[in-house]
Amino acid sequence: MSDFSIYHNPRCSKSRQTLALLQEHGIEPEIVLYLEQVPSAEQLKELLNKLGMKPRELLRKGEAAYKERGLADDRFSDSELIAAMCEAPKLIERPIVVKGTKAVLGRPPENVLELLK
């Protein structure tokens, strides 16, 4: 089993590039197809902690669900934003690569090199 995991969407070019970069470095991460295996609120909180990010920072603001739900409004609490990401996982920015207690967003893909040090 790998020390690495990637929250991956195979349809996303950045996600594919990040996976390829890991593989070029001899890493075969556990692949989490987060659109099918939707993370729970608790799992998202743990990911956010490892990323050192707030829920709003992990939202994909260009998604239709972001606009439809009015998530640009600051009245939403962190818990409400996390719940929205659980209900509509397309809202979760991708890819997220995790190693142990740290995680990075693969935008750009080279960000994952931090985890290789």
Residue 8 · residue 15 · CB < 8 Å? yes
The secondary structure element, H or E, covering residue 103 is strand 102-105
Those residues whose C-beta lies under 8 Å from the C-beta of residue 32, and which sit 6 or more positions away, are: 5, 6, 7, 8, 39
The span from the CA of 20 to the CA of 92, in Å, is 21
- Known catalytic membership, residue 12: yes
Residue 66 · residue 38 · CB < 8 Å? no
Catalytic residue among 12, 38, 53, 83: 12
The secondary structure element, H or E, covering residue 98 is strand 96-99
The set of catalytic residues is: 12
